[in-house]
A and B are shown apart, each in its own frame.
Chain A
Amino acid sequence: MRKFEDLSAREEELRALAESEVAPHASEIDREQRVPPSLIRALASAGVFRSGFPESFGGWGDGGEETVLGHGLMHEALGAASASVQGMANVHHMAGSALTRWGTREQKQTWLPRMTAGEVLGGVAITEPNVGSDAAAVETTARGVGSEYVLHGTKTWITSGQSAGLFVLLARSADGPAVFLVPREAPGLRIEPIHDLLGCRGYMLATLILEECVLPAESLLGKPPFGLTHVAATGLEWGRYNLAWGCVGLGRACLDSCLDFTRRRRQFGNSLSEFQLVQRIICRMMTDVEAARLLCWRAGSLRGRRLPDAAKETIMAKYFASQMANRVASEAVQLHGAQGCGPDSAAARAMRDARVMEIIEGTTQILEIALARYAYRDRAMGGEK
């Protein structure tokens, strides 16, 4: 397993990028509920959309321990600067990973070079008004008509729905769950923005309404009935990995902010950092962030080496990191006092953003079910790994 030090130069580079390009916009993104196009262009120039994609299509690589860990560090850096930007990069990569893994040569050649260049942002469309965790129950239908598919249904809470140029969309076909590549300009696709979310307000969420949306047969990604179990699952698994790292970034940013603030802030004649109850909170935050980071590191190491237990470790990392983000962000608000409740408070924004993390890419409860199954399985095999 790689050590932290092996990637320290890369980590420094990514943090500098996020701090200079993203962090200055974080408050504005939250307030305006959008990621400015100029920032998307800057991130594209910096290569953010190349991470996690194969080199043959302009990416920075999509396999190997170092590459996968480096990809995680990028999400940590983005998550520390802005959860909204991390979310945009996350769904872009989720869509791209499903396409990379299961796409035909033509599909990859059509989309991946534009995605890695940041000309086309990717989005993933699974959730529906009546379907959340139970993705197998999607109601959007795909009907084969001659050499085309006709899609009908509604997808909602779709991250980057307002900006993505390509959606990886799960539907129900006569042969079972099927995934389609749906360009933004597909006939019969209407997009309605969603505003005023609790957190992650720059996710640029939208509802996608498909009314007799006609797609050529070559829009099918993978094959039914493997649309959910293999194609969408590939994106979801990467989504959990990316998000777990994003949560580590969010937690670290909260911790750093609290360390600075409690040193600066004086009450009762002392710096807050001198009070032992404050020190206890700092200690808990630090340990929480570090524990989540170690779980992410382990998940990345296993993913990079393509070990079967990578799926379990990724779930565990997301499960812990998203809860950690909530604990740490809440403590950050507490330590910042009234300032933490202010209109432009980074701690308050982190607390609202963190709340979303326990819901997306598998709710905490769904992940608990999965992890418990793994635990019983491992026990039945006498702890064999």
Chain B
Amino acid sequence: MPGDSTMDPIRTFLARSFEGRQLRDDEDIFALGFGNSLFAMQLVSFLERQFGMEIDSEDLEMKNFQTVRAIAELVERKIGVKHEEV
């Protein structure tokens, strides 16, 4: 389970993107119809800047972006990998 320090900024960003709607951590973002390209690229920019990482082609899996929790897990996995490499 990802920590709140990862989840909170993501929750805030998504709430802002979806006009204040607070998503549950396991709510399917795509099923709610929020998967347009403007949102998608903004999410990528946000994650990269917020967490100092890079989303690359390998990360492009629906399951990585489907819910708040999935996004946070992706972030923690990426940051973890980065730390290990260092």
**Is B37's beta carbon under 8 Å from chain A?**
yes
In this complex, what residue of B is CB-closest to A225? Answer: B62
A308, A376, A381 — most chain B CB neighbours (10 Å): A308
B13, B15, B41, B56 — most chain A CB neighbours (10 Å): B41
**Is A377's beta carbon under 8 Å from chain B?**
yes
**Is B8's beta carbon under 8 Å from chain A?**
no
**Is A330's beta carbon under 8 Å from chain B?**
no
Asked if B19 and A376 make an inter-chain contact with CB atoms under 8 angstroms apart, the answer reads yes
Asked if B62 and A230 make an inter-chain contact with CB atoms under 8 angstroms apart, the answer reads no
Asked if A381 and B16 make an inter-chain contact with CB atoms under 8 angstroms apart, the answer reads yes
Asked if B61 and A223 make an inter-chain contact with CB atoms under 8 angstroms apart, the answer reads yes
Q: Which residues of A contact B13 (CB under 8 A)?
A: 308
Asked if A229 and B49 make an inter-chain contact with CB atoms under 8 angstroms apart, the answer reads no
Q: Which residues of A contact B35 (CB under 8 A)?
A: 229
Q: How far is the CB of B65 from chain A (nearest CB, A)?
A: 9
Q: Which residues of A contact B49 (CB under 8 A)?
A: 305-308
Q: Tell me the complex Cα distance, A377–B20, Å.
A: 8
Q: How far is the CB of A135 from chain B (nearest CB, A)?
A: 8
**Is A311's beta carbon under 8 Å from chain B?**
yes
Asked if A230 and B41 make an inter-chain contact with CB atoms under 8 angstroms apart, the answer reads yes
Q: Which residues of A contact B40 (CB under 8 A)?
A: 226, 229-230, 233
Q: How far is the CB of A110 from chain B (nearest CB, A)?
A: 15
Q: How far is the CB of B39 from chain A (nearest CB, A)?
A: 8
**Is A86's beta carbon under 8 Å from chain B?**
no
Chain A: number of interface residues, binned into ranges: 20 to 34
Known A229-B35, A233-B40, A234-B41; contact A103-B57, beta-carbon cutoff 8 A: yes
Which of B17, B37, B46 is A230 in contact with, Cβ under 8 Å?
B37
In this complex, what residue of A is CB-closest to B62? Answer: A225
Q: How far is the CB of B82 from chain A (nearest CB, A)?
A: 17
Q: Tell me the complex Cα distance, A380–B62, Å.
A: 28
Asked if B20 and A311 make an inter-chain contact with CB atoms under 8 angstroms apart, the answer reads no
Q: Tell me the complex Cα distance, A308–B50, Å.
A: 10
**Is A299's beta carbon under 8 Å from chain B?**
no
Encode contact with B along A78-117: 1 for CB under 8 Å, 0 otherwise: 0000000000000000000000001110000000000000
Asked if A377 and B60 make an inter-chain contact with CB atoms under 8 angstroms apart, the answer reads no
Asked if A102 and B56 make an inter-chain contact with CB atoms under 8 angstroms apart, the answer reads yes
Which of A221, A229, A310, A376 is B36 in contact with, Cβ under 8 Å?
A229
Known A222-B57, A230-B44; contact A381-B20, beta-carbon cutoff 8 A: yes
Q: Which residues of B contact A182 (CB under 8 A)?
A: none
Q: Tell me the complex Cα distance, A232–B37, Å.
A: 9
**Is A294's beta carbon under 8 Å from chain B?**
no
A residues 255-314 touching B (CB-CB < 8 Å): 305-311
Asked if B19 and A377 make an inter-chain contact with CB atoms under 8 angstroms apart, the answer reads yes
Asked if B42 and A308 make an inter-chain contact with CB atoms under 8 angstroms apart, the answer reads yes
Asked if B45 and A223 make an inter-chain contact with CB atoms under 8 angstroms apart, the answer reads no
Binding site for A on B (CB under 8 A): 13, 15-20, 35-38, 40-46, 48-49, 56-57, 60-62
Binding site for B on A (CB under 8 A): 102-104, 221-223, 225-226, 228-230, 232-234, 236-237, 305-311, 315, 370, 373, 376-377, 380-381, 384
